[in-house]
């Protein structure tokens, strides 16, 4: 009998696998895959200062062409349970929808590609001239340290060589078939600490208010634009996300102000070039700010950047992109847009090992109260993945 993606997704949703807890989700997948002939392994990775994370790697078949389905079984916390009309881990079905935390992000996607792979292996008898793997992490919604990045390295050291990868993240904005992600923007965060002199507001000559310089710095961070974008990427965009003084007293000039920011950048930039551009902008803004009486030099400041592994990338592989687009069109009647919009995903790690694209469910309810997926979308997503498998291995 064909494997039912709704039943698999429901079983996964009933596992409370909030990062970093396995919650039974990987055991659920192993219980499906191992009896079908997949060799299933569940390595646990550790690093000081972070929680241990259990992951899953399952593979079947042999041959030069090796397709990987990648995803995550962990989910974000459900938040206030009293706001949910259906329990986040109850697996309730109502009016053609399956409710639960992770329904679209991304246990539904995992269920669909697992069902498609299981049916394909059953119908071919495992003799399809290639290899299929499922690479599932428990750390995508967390710090992403003990998950996909280490699982890929672990697999490579064991001799696994991947040809192509599909990540089952929810990529469609409104309807299944809208969008395939063929790349992602990079992400870089930083902090600027402007250092003044604390004092009484009634005696400004004895203080040095860093907030007088902050507007110039903030303006310089966002204007002029970093670039105009490219054919495949939106313009790079920096947003100031926080301005903090740690001062709640209305009669005290703060000693310092910290400005936090994040920029999502396209492939016109490297991290090093972007850091240099931001440093130059901040330096010019501080240098040009008016000097306080009695202070002959510009305000002191510190600029720091958080380490990032999220660099912009773009996949060009026609076998993967055209094959998936053809499968989407065959099932939905839509030719998907090829996009690089949205945030980061574990595709940023996978692109180092093989060409990678992302395609999954409609993401409208991800991370929301009463997250849910349309049952028919689960069946159609499975059909898309299955159509791609047929084209990839059998044509």
Where are the chain's structural domains? 5-184+312-394, 186-305
- Predicted confidence at residue 130, as pLDDT, reads 97
- In this structure, of 167-171, 238-242, 286-290, the range with the lowest mean pLDDT score is 286-290
Give the confidence band of 291 by pLDDT, cuts at 50, 70, 90: confident
Give the confidence band of 126 by pLDDT, cuts at 50, 70, 90: confident
- Predicted confidence at residue 224, as pLDDT, reads 97
Give the confidence band of 192 by pLDDT, cuts at 50, 70, 90: very high
pLDDT per position as a tens digit, 247-275: 999 999 999 999 999 999 999 999 999 99
Helix, strand, coil percent values for the chain (each to nearest 5)? 30, 25, 45
* Mean pLDDT of all residues in 8-15: 98
Closest by CA to 347, choosing from 315, 385, 307, 382, is 315
* Mean pLDDT of all residues in 333-354: 95
| This prediction's pTM | 0.91
* CA separation for the pair 87, 74 (Å, rounded): 17
CA-CA-CA-CA torsion sign (81, 84, 89, 90): positive
**5-184+312-394 matches 186-305 in fold:** no
Decide: 222 and 238 in contact? Cβ < 8 Å: yes
- Predicted confidence at residue 246, as pLDDT, reads 95
pLDDT per position as a tens digit, 292-316: 766 678 999 999 999 998 999 999 9
CB proximity list for 111: less than 8 A, separation 6 or greater: 5, 6, 8, 9, 12, 378, 382
Query: Token pair of 250, please?
Result: 């209305």
Q: Which CATH number fits domain 186-305: 3.30.70.360, 1.10.1660.10, 3.30.310.50, 3.40.50.150?
A: 3.30.70.360
Decide: 109 and 169 in contact? Cβ < 8 Å: yes
HEC string of 331-389? HHCCCCEEECCCCCCCHHHHCCCCCEEECCCECCCCCCCCCEEEHHHHHHHHHHHHHHH
- Predicted confidence at residue 209, as pLDDT, reads 93
User: How confident is the prediction for the chain on average, in pLDDT?
Assistant: 96
* CA separation for the pair 359, 382 (Å, rounded): 11
* Mean pLDDT of all residues in 189-206: 95
* CA separation for the pair 188, 311 (Å, rounded): 8
Task: Provide the CATH number for the domain formed by 5-184+312-394 in this structure.
Answer: 3.40.630.10
Strands of 300-305's sheet, edge to edge? 237-244, 256-265, 186-195, 300-305
CB proximity list for 13: less than 8 A, separation 6 or greater: 89, 90, 91, 98, 99, 100, 101, 102, 103, 107
Closest by CA to 146, choosing from 53, 75, 43, 70, is 53
Annotated catalytic residues are 74, 140
| Cα 138 versus chain centre, distance | 13
Query: Token pair of 209, please?
Result: 């208010």
- Share above pLDDT 70 across residues of the chain, in percent, rounded to a whole number: 99
């Amino acid at each position: 009998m064909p494997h039912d993606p709704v039943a698999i997704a429901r079983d996964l949703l009933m596992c409370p696998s909030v990062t970093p807890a396995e919650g039974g989700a990987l055991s659920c997948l192993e219980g499906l895959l191992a009896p079908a002939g997949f060799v299933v392994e569940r390595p646990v990775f550790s690093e000081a200062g972070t929680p241990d994370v259990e992951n899953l790697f399952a593979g079947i078949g042999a041959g030069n062409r090796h397709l990987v389905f990648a995803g995550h079984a962990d989910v974000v916390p459900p938040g206030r349970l009293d706001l949910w009309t259906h329990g986040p881990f109850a697996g309730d079905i109502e009016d053609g929808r399956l409710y639960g935390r992770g329904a679209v992000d991304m246990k539904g996607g995992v269920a669909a590609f697992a069902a498609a792979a299981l049916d394909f292996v059953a119908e071919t008898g495992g003799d399809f001239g290639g290899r299929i793997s499922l690479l599932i992490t428990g750390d995508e919604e967390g710090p992403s340290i003990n998950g996909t990045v280490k699982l890929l390295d672990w697999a490579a050291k064991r001799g696994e060589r991947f040809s192509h990868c599909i990540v089952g993240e929810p990529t469609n904005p409104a309807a299944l078939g809208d969008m395939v992600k063929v790349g992602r923007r990079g992400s870089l965060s930083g902090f600027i600490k402007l250092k003044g002199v604390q004092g009484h507001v009634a005696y400004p000559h004895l203080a040095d208010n860093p907030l007088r310089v902050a507007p110039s710095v903030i303006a310089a961070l966002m204007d002029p634009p970093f670039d105009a974008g490219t054919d495949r990427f939106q313009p790079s965009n920096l947003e100031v996300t926080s301005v903090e003084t740690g001062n709640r007293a209305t009669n005290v000039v703060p000693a310092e102000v910290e400005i936090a920011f994040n920029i999502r950048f396209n492939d016109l930039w490297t991290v090093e070039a972007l850091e240099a551009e931001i440093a130059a902008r901040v330096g010019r803004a501080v240098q040009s700010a008016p000097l306080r009486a009695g202070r002959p030099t510009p305000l002191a400041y510190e600029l720091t950047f958080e380490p990032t592994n999220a660099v912009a990338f773009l996949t060009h592989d026609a076998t993967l992109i055209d094959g998936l687009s053809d499968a989407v069109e065959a099932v939905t009647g839509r030719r998907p847009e090829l996009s690089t919009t949205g945030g980061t995903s574990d595709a940023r790690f996978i692109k180092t090992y093989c060409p990678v694209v992302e395609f999954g469910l409609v993401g409208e309810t991800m991370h929301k109260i009463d997250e849910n997926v349309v049952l028919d979308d689960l069946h159609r997503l499975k059909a898309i993945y299955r159509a791609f498998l047929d084209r990839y291995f059998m044509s």
